[in-house]
Structure 1
Amino acid sequence: MYSKEQASQFKQAFWTAFGQYMQPVLSADGLRTNWVNYKTGVKHINFKMQADNKLATIAIEMNHPDKELQQLFFEQFATYKTMLRSSLAEDWDWQLHTTDNYGKTISRIVKETGPVSIYQQGDWPKLISFFKPRIVALDEFWNNAKAAFEF
């Protein structure tokens, strides 16, 4: 078991390594992108990558505090489901009004993998292989769909 400080150091080391690995990868617009802290440019819609000692997830999260507006975002994504599926080349799990790690109600479209641990450097290639194609595919999708989510 790792102390909080050690766990934090492992996570920071992984995300730094992932960021460096992704640095030469340009966005769908041909621009440099901070892949680790991807900015969608639309408030309350985030692309999140997370990893712990059991699994890794990548998700489109809708976290608007108004549940009805959150559901509207979710339904709007559903209208783009075919385009999203085409970009990702796989099915993801659609979760309307679930709870995040902090007890906050969110909706999300998520893919997970496991068992894998961010605390095991031997698993880092698996994590990178999981995250890289999916965040790049999300960027491609978002490049085509973002305008529909801006109000």
Structure 2
Amino acid sequence: MYSREETQELKRAFWIEFAEKYPRKWLLYNTKIKDFTFKFFIDNKKAQVSIDIEPKDDAKRIAYFEKLESLKNSIDEEYLKDLVYEKNYYLENGKAISRIWVEKSGVSISNKSYWDEIFDFFNDKMNALELFYEQYDEYIKDI
């Protein structure tokens, strides 16, 4: 087990190395839709790239989710297969959000031998999601 400080340093080193391997500005929070974000996630079991839809207004959250769901065939054929669509995804704090994500299991931030594999996964999947969003953002925003 790592101490808290060692864990923080490991995470910092991971993200610095990722930024050095793929030096670009990611879309992430800059979608121009409030509470509609692209996220990277890594722990000791899996890596994920996701779109999180978190408006406080459930009707708005569901409307954005359904817009994305309506584009599922286009996303699968043109950008990214194997996405998981979950209209009601519950965070650890109990908050319901909508999430669309792709996951790579069997990798760990604690094992540096996986880092290049994770970096490539993050780059490939997030790039595909961003290209999709760039193509369909006006349609998605129009709720």
TM-score for both structures, normalised by structure 2: 0.90
Q: Does 1:11 align with 2:11?
A: yes
Taking the aligned partners of 1:44 and 1:138, their CA distance within structure 2 comes to 17
Alignment of 1:48-67 (within 5 A): 48-67=39-58
Structure 1 segments (4+ residues) deviating >3 Å: none
CA-based RMSD: 1.7
1:14-62 CA-to-partner distances (Å, cap 9, x unmatched) read 1111112111xxxxxxxxx422845222211111110001111111110
Q: Does structure 2 retain, via aligned residues, the 8 Å contact 1:55–1:117?
A: yes
Tell me which of 101, 105, 125 is aligned to 2:116.
125
Equivalent position of 1:44 in the other structure: 35
Alignment of 1:1-150 (within 5 A): 1-23=1-23, 33-35=24-26, 37=28, 39-150=30-141
Number of residue pairs the alignment of both structures matches: 142
SS in 1 for 2:7: helix
Equivalent position of 1:28 in the other structure: none
1:88-139 CA-to-partner distances (Å, cap 9, x unmatched) read 3312111111112332211111111111111111110110121111111111
Residues 12 and 102 from structure 1, CA distance in 2 versus in 1: closer, same or farther, beyond 3 angstroms? farther
Q: Which runs of 5+ in 1 are unaligned?
A: 24-32
Q: Which runs of 5+ in 2 are unaligned?
A: none
